[in-house]
């Protein structure tokens, strides 16, 4: 029912709009018909006017001819006679042709024919009385009377024709004016009906459109509400799913953190387990090297040290990459003077370069540039690139080091060599761990980790690393870093400190306590301290024993391992610092755990120094002498 009522309402609106539009259209059609009729009457009136003018013209011609006839009668002109005789019939013929379809007027004109003939007869009769120019015999009165009568009759007929023509012209104009008046009435009426009908039609249509648009808007609102409700339901479901995902993400994060901690613990343990035996190997090898053995034995010890240090380098690089991946590698970014850093790095590889007769040219001093970087990590990257440039170079080749400002807020370091170069298809594999591009089949030593580690270190410092190489011509590695401004100048005590450290001599020092559970490492420490006459080394294999001995002997320095069988090294350090009697004793942590996390823990617990195994004997001696000399001076 609702649908049928709406249909009937729509039909009524459409029919009403159609009627309102149809009325102006009908009026317009009527106006068109009346206009056509008016124009037809107007054309008829114009035609009557034209024809009347033509008739007037022809009648005037006849009248002129009649005047000429009178002149001929009076003047007896031969030329005039011929002209009148020839013109009157012609003028009559022209006048007759004006009424091809008008019988009344044509009949009136035909009445002129006998009158014209009579006029011509009178002219002919008058002609016979003509004499010589000097004679005037005169025209008889009856002949003159005939001529006047004939002319008068002609004029009477012509006047009838003119009157009839004028009457018809006036009638045509009256009809045209009436038609124009009627047409104007119809025109304004049609315009009024059209305007009102148009307004009505527009009003109806707009009303219908408004109703339709309102219904459409209501429908759209209903649909939008339905969609909104569906979206809200979907959003609620998604929110519920998100809350499940958040819980899963939280659990996954916890699992990842536990895995990361487990990885760190594993790396710490592996570092300790690998460095502990390596400490004994390198430590005793260094002691043998210092013992002044025979040449043959000295070479064997050198091979042991070389292999051990290679293994230590591999362990260090693996730990570095693991720290980076775990996000635990701390950097100290500061302005680093590149020429000075390059000089330090070049000085460290000169011996290696001289062994292969390779020249190392340092052009970095041409301009003093500073880069925002970690001094030690950037030096590590440069040493790796310089070492590779020497190892993979030709004998008697060249390595060139240079720096430049690219003008875009960055500085570039270039290290070029004259080696064999690297083919383009191998370059994408160059920075992958353990990838040596076939060099593992040669005598050139390497781990395949150095470039991968260098790339990650450079990226951590906000820089980029790349390579340009040409087979047979050489290779150029480049490193780009953010440019830094020169720091404020300050007093540099490095030379004075180095000189003071070099001046430290072996002196009679008191007691040093070593808390170490590994017998091999303990024997190594004992042999190292044997080179310091007068120093009494006290050893303990467990943490509790070490605490007891520290309280009894009050040593001037304590060497502490972290992984002890009874107590953790951090616990031992915390107890030493908590005891007022031992709190001031410097503690040097000597551990195979090289992780940053562990080192940070020991620093926070109060360590005075942190040294990783395998022990660098000379470095350990200098550190011990520095601490003990400071104690003596105090």
Residues in CB range of 333: below 8 A, 6 or more apart = 372, 373, 374, 461, 462
d(CA 388, CA 416): 10
Predicted local confidence at residue 493, as pLDDT: 37
Predicted local confidence at residue 492, as pLDDT: 47
d(CA 324, CA 267): 13
Predicted local confidence at residue 506, as pLDDT: 36
Contact by Cβ (8 Å): 568, 299: no
The residue ranges of every structural domain in the chain are 2-212, 333-487, 503-633
Give me the helix-helix angle, 2-75 and 112-127, nearest 10°: 20
How distant, in Å, are the alpha carbons of 201, 244, 322, 326 from that of 255? 76, 16, 18, 14
Predicted local confidence at residue 281, as pLDDT: 80
d(CA 184, CA 243): 84
d(CA 226, CA 534): 94
Distance, first Cα to last Cα, the chain: 112
In the chain, how many H helices and how many E strands? 15, 12
Nearest-CA neighbor of 415 among 397, 424, 430, 402?
402
CATH match of 2-212 with 1.20.1420: yes
- Is residue 334 classed as helix, strand or coil in its secondary structure? strand
Beta bridge partners of 5: none
| 606 Rama sector, left if φ>0, alpha if ψ -120 to 50, beta otherwise | left
What are 420's two structure tokens? 């064999």
Q: If DSSP states are collapsed to H, E and C, what string results for 430-491?
A: CCCCCCCCCHHHCCCCCCCCHHHHHHHHHHHCCCEEEEEEECCCEEEEEEEEEEECCCCCCC
- 631 CB-contact burial (10 Å; exposed 0-12 / middle 13-18 / buried 19+): middle
How distant, in Å, are the alpha carbons of 53, 113, 117, 161 from that of 56? 5, 18, 21, 9
CATH match of 503-633 with 1.20.1730.10: no
What is the mean pLDDT, run by run of 10 residues, along the chain of 634 residues? 54 61 66 68 67 69 64 56 68 75 79 79 70 54 74 81 80 73 70 67 64 72 81 81 80 74 64 71 81 79 76 70 66 86 86 88 86 88 89 89 90 92 82 62 60 86 90 91 76 42 43 86 83 83 89 90 85 90 90 80 89 85 81 34
DSSP labels, 205-246? HHHHHHHHHHHHHHHHHHHHHHHHHHHHHHHHHHHHHHHHHH
In CATH, which of 3.40.50.1100, 3.40.50.300, 3.30.565.10, 3.50.50.60 is domain 333-487?
A: 3.30.565.10
Predicted local confidence at residue 500, as pLDDT: 36
Handedness of CA 61, 62, 67, 72 (dihedral sign): positive
Q: 2-212 and 333-487 share one CATH topology?
A: no
Contact by Cβ (8 Å): 599, 591: no
- Is residue 197 classed as helix, strand or coil in its secondary structure? helix
Q: Where would I find the beta strands (DSSP E) of 246-358?
A: 333-337
How distant, in Å, are the alpha carbons of 94, 202, 288 from that of 350? 138, 99, 26
d(CA 392, CA 397): 10
Predicted local confidence at residue 384, as pLDDT: 86
d(CA 31, CA 193): 12
DSSP labels, 8-66? HHHHHHHHHHHHHHHHHHHHHHHHHHHHHHHHHHHHHHHHHHHHHHHHHHHHHHHHHHH
DSSP labels, 305-328? HHHHHHHHHHHHHHHHHHHHHHT-
């Amino acid at each position: 029912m609702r649908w049928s009522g709406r249909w009937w309402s729509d039909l009524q609106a459409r029919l009403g709009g159609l009627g309102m539009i149809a009325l102006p259209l009908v009026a317009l059609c009527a106006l068109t018909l009346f206009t056509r009729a008016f124009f037809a009457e107007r054309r008829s009136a114009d035609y009557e006017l034209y024809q009347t003018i033509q008739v007037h013209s022809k009648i005037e011609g006849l009248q002129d001819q009649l005047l000429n006839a009178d002149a001929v009668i009076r003047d007896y002109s031969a030329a005039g006679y011929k002209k009148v005789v020839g013109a009157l019939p012609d003028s009559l013929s022209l006048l007759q042709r004006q009424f091809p379809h008008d019988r009344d007027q044509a009949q009136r004109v035909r009445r002129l024919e006998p009158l014209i003939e009579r006029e011509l007869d009178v002219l002919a009769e008058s002609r016979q009385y003509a004499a010589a120019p000097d004679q005037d015999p005169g025209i008889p009165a009856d002949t003159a009377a005939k001529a006047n009568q004939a002319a008068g009759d002609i004029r009477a007929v012509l006047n009838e024709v003119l009157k009839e023509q004028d009457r018809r012209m006036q009638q045509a104009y009256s009809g045209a004016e009436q038609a124009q008046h009627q047409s104007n009435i119809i025109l304004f009426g049609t315009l009024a009906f059209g305007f009102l009908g148009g307004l009505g039609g527009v009003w109806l249509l707009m009303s219908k459109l408004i109703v339709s648009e309102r219904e459409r808007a209501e429908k759209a609102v209903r649909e939008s509400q339905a969609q909104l409700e569906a979206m809200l339901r979907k959003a609620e479901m998604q929110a519920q799913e998100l809350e499940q995902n958040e819980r899963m993400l939280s659990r996954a994060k916890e699992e990842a953190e536990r895995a990361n901690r487990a990885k760190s613990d594993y790396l710490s343990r592996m570092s300790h387990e690998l460095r502990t035996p390596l400490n004994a190997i390198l430590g005793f090898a260094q002691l043998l090297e210092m013992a002044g053995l025979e040449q043959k034995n000295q070479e064997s010890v050198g091979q042991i040290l070389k292999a051990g240090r290679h293994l230590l380098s591999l362990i260090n690089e693996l730990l570095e990459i693991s720290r980076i991946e775990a996000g635990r590698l701390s950097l100290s970014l500061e302005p680093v003077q590149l020429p000075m850093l390059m000089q330090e790095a070049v000085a460290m590889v000169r011996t290696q370069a001289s062994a292969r007769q390779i020249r190392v040219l340092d052009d970095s001093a041409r301009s003093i540039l500073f880069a925002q970087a970690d001094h030690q990590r950037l030096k590590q990257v440069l040493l790796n690139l310089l070492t590779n440039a020497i190892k993979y170079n030709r004998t008697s080749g060249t390595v060139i080091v240079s720096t430049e400002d690219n003008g875009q807020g960055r500085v570039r370091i270039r290290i070029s060599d004259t080696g064999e170069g690297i083919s383009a298809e191998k370059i994408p594999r160059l920075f992958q761990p353990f990838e040596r591009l076939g060099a593992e089949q040669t005598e050139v030593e390497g781990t395949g980790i150095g470039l991968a580690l260098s790339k990650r270190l450079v990226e951590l410092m906000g820089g980029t690393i790349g390579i340009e190489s040409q087979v047979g011509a050489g290779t150029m590695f480049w490193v780009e870093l953010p440019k830094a401004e020169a720091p404020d100048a300050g007093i540099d005590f490095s030379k004075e400190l180095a000189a003071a450290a070099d001046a430290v001599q072996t002196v009679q020092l008191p007691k040093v306590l070593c808390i170490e559970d590994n017998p091999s490492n303990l024997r190594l420490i004992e042999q190292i301290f044997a080179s310091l006459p007068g120093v009494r080394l006290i050893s303990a294999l467990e943490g509790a024993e070490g605490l007891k001995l520290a309280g009894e002997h009050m040593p001037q320095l304590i060497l502490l391992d972290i992984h002890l069988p009874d107590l953790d090294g951090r616990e031992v350090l915390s107890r030493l610092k908590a005891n007022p009697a031992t709190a001031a004793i410097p503690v040097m942590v000597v551990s195979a755990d090289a992780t940053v996390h562990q080192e940070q823990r020991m620093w926070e617990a109060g360590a005075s120094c942190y040294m990783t195994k395998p022990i660098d004997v000379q470095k350990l001696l200098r550190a011990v002498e520095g601490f003990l000399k400071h104690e003596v001076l105090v």
